[in-house]
Amino acid sequence: MKVLAILGASGHGKVVADSALSSGLWQQVFFYDDAWPTKTHNGQHEIVGNTKSLLDLSEKPEVVVAIGNNKVRLAKLTELIHNGFTVATVIHPAAVISSSASIAVGTVVMAGAVINADAVVGSACIVNSNAVVEHDCLLGDAVHVSPGASLAGGVVVGQCSWIGIGASVIQLKRIGSNVMVGAGAAVVTDLADGLTAVGVPAKVIKY
Ligand SMILES: CC(C)(COP(=O)(O)OP(=O)(O)OC[C@H]1O[C@@H](n2cnc3c(N)ncnc32)[C@H](O)[C@@H]1OP(=O)(O)O)[C@@H](O)C(=O)NCCC(=O)NCCS
C-alpha cells in the first residue's frame, strides 16, 4: 500500500488528499500539522504528527505540502527535500494536462484544471479546481492559480504570486513575484513584483 504524507491539515489539504486518493497512486494519506497533538483530525483524515515528527521518521514516506501561504509552502517543501524526502506531484484524474506541459515536483493540480501545450509549471504550485493555464504559460515556484482563474497563452507568473479566484490574465502578460491578483480581476497590463491589483480592468491598490 502506498502512503502519502501531507504536511498541512488545511481545507486545501483535504482537497489534496481527495485528489491523491482519486488518482489511485496512493491508497492512504496521513496528515502532519504543527497544530498536532491539539488537532487530531482534518475532516475524515487522521493527523499523526507535526513537522518535527515527519522529519524524524526513519522510513520517509512520499510527501506533499498543503499549506495555502505560498512562501511557507515553498519553505516547508525545500526543508523536506533537504532532509531527503521524495516530494510527490498530485494530479486529480479529472484534470486535463497536455503531454507537452511540464509540472515540477510538489505541485498539486485539482479537478477540472486544464494545463495546455508547452506550459511550464514550477515546484510547489497550486493549480486549483477549474483553473486554466493556457499554452506556453510559465509559472515560477509556489504560484497559486485559484479556483476558476484563467491564464491566457504565454502568460508568465513569478514565484509565490497568487491569482485570486475567478481572475483572468490576458495573453502574454508578465506578472512578477509575490504579486496578489484579487478575486475576479481582469489583468490587462504587466504587473511588477510585490503589487496587489484588483478589479476589471485590474488596478494596483498596494505596492
Ligand atoms: C485582493 C485582496 C487580497 C485584497 O485584500 P486586502 O489586502 O485585505 O484588501 P481590503 O479587503 O482591505 O480591500 C482594499 C480595497 O480593495 C477592494 N477590493 C478588495 N478585493 C477586491 C477584489 N477582489 N475586487 C475588487 N475590489 C477589491 C476593497 O473593496 C477595498 O476597497 P475600498 O478601499 O474602496 O474600501 C482580496 O480581497 C482578494 O481578492 N483575495 C483573493 C481571495 C481568493 O482568491 N481566495 C481563493 C482561495 S482558494
Query: pLDDT 10s digit of each residue in the chain, 207 long?
Result: 899 999 999 999 999 999 999 999 999 999 999 999 999 999 999 999 999 999 999 999 999 999 999 999 999 999 999 999 999 999 999 999 999 999 999 999 999 999 999 999 999 999 999 999 999 999 999 999 999 999 999 999 999 999 999 999 999 999 999 999 999 999 999 999 999 999 999 999 999
> Exposed, middle or buried: residue 6 (CB in 10 Å: 0-12, 13-18, 19+)?
buried
- Given the CA of residue 149, which atom of ligand 1 is nearest to it? 44
| Angle (CA) 149 16 63, round 5° | 125
Q: Can you tell me the distance from the alpha carbon of 129 to that of 124, in angstroms, rounded to the nearest whole number?
A: 16
Look at ligand 1, atom 10, and give the residue with the nearest C-alpha. 205
For 182, other C-beta atoms within 10 Å of its C-beta total 20
Q: Can you tell me the distance from the alpha carbon of 61 to that of 7, in angstroms, rounded to the nearest whole number?
A: 11
Q: Who lines ligand 1 at CB under 6 A?
A: 128, 146-147, 164-165, 180, 182-184, 196, 198-199, 205
Phi and psi at 80, nearest 5°, equal -65, -40
